[in-house]
Amino acid sequence: MIHNILLTGSSGYLGGTLLARLKRADLPPYGKVYALVRSEKQARCVQEYGAEPLFCDVDDHVQITTAIVDREISVIYFLIDAYNQTRQQVMIRALGKVKERTGKTVHFVHTTGAKQFSRHGGVQHDRPLLDTDPMLYDIQKSAAPPYKWFAQIWPVCHVSDNAALYLQILRQILLGSDIGYNKDGFFLAASGSIAWNDIYDAFAKALARRGVVDDSTVEQADETALKGMAEALGVDPSIVPFQVGGKYQIGWQPQYPPEHILEAADAEVELILKSLELDS
């Protein structure tokens, strides 16, 4: 079965990494790869990696539905705005129309973060959660997000490992394998866990070394800081902590250990600061 594929978020770090690795992933045959874009610059960039740019307003339900159905797109990677449900519903209904037209099995791969299965997301389980857990759907369904601050342990995953998981999911789709869907369609990408306090400490030290902050002391955000962060994120201050805060059966294993995020913190700060200098 030949699938046409749509990547959203191809200008971001998840979608962009996936697109950059797609052609050299030695996948089974597939049809066209479309990349959702908003500008001519983005269009030129995705074309360099073999994708056909798709100019489409995801908030125009008729336009995005027509684009998916007319191109007979049967696999969608949704890597944008995980907290808005409307766009996903429209795309899933469009996939249903593609299935009716072509008879193909359709797939919608939706990405959220580890927060969905943390206390930030209302999950009150102290045990490690695995994507092989048959109760995973029920755990998430019954969660009641408190939007309170917790300095807890956090699952982490290198972007390259995350892209490798996406590619392995796609490989199994193209092979026609049953990898799980609906209540059994969870894929938790993590190589391990790191305490948030250690992550904050690593980045604070990197910033202090460059004189961006006065010292490397990490303190709780006060009301003024939360308001400023909320304004930048476009959310209510109570939701700021929630905003900032793997399946081996399909053949995926991470290459980077969880401690890598601490080792890479200094280089990451350097890269971000250089990027800010170029934009200013």
Higher-pLDDT residue of 242, 211: 211
Q: Please state, as a whole number, how many other Cβ atoms lie within 10 Å of the Cβ of residue 271.
A: 11
Report, as an integer, the average pLDDT of 3-31: 93
- For the ranges 76-80, 113-117, 270-274, the lowest mean pLDDT is seen at 113-117
Confidence of residue 129 (pLDDT cuts 50, 70, 90): low
Mean residue pLDDT of the chain comes to: 82
What span, in angstroms and rounded, lies between the C-alpha atoms of 41 and 132? 41
Query: pLDDT at position 247, please?
Result: 46
Report, as an integer, the average pLDDT of 134-146: 64
Phi first, then psi: give them for residue 132, nearest 5 degrees. Answer: -90, -5
Most confident of 75-84, 102-111, 135-144, 180-189: 102-111
Report, as an integer, the average pLDDT of 161-167: 88
Query: pLDDT at position 181, please?
Result: 81
Residue 235 has pLDDT above 80, yes or no: no
Name residues whose C-beta falls within 8 Å of residue 144's C-beta, 6 or more positions apart in sequence: 122
Rg (CA), the chain: 20
- For the ranges 114-128, 159-173, 176-190, the lowest mean pLDDT is seen at 114-128
Query: pLDDT at position 264, please?
Result: 85
Which 8-state DSSP code applies to residue 128?
P
Confidence of residue 75 (pLDDT cuts 50, 70, 90): very high
pLDDT in tens, 28-72: 999 999 999 999 999 999 999 999 999 999 999 999 999 999 999
Name residues whose C-beta falls within 8 Å of residue 7's C-beta, 6 or more positions apart in sequence: 15, 18, 19, 33, 34, 35, 36, 51, 77, 79
Find where tokens 């969880």 sit. Answer: 258
- For the ranges 7-16, 36-45, 146-155, 200-209, the lowest mean pLDDT is seen at 146-155
Residue 273 has pLDDT above 60, yes or no: yes
Query: pLDDT at position 249, please?
Result: 57
Strand pairing partners for 153?
Answer: 195
What span, in angstroms and rounded, lies between the C-alpha atoms of 197 and 100? 50
Query: pLDDT at position 85, please?
Result: 78
Amino acid at 57: D
What span, in angstroms and rounded, lies between the C-alpha atoms of 9 and 17? 10
User: Do 139 and 123 meet the contact criterion of CB atoms below 8 Å apart?
Assistant: yes
Report, as an integer, the average pLDDT of 238-255: 62
Report, as an integer, the average pLDDT of 66-80: 96
Residue 154 has pLDDT above 70, yes or no: no
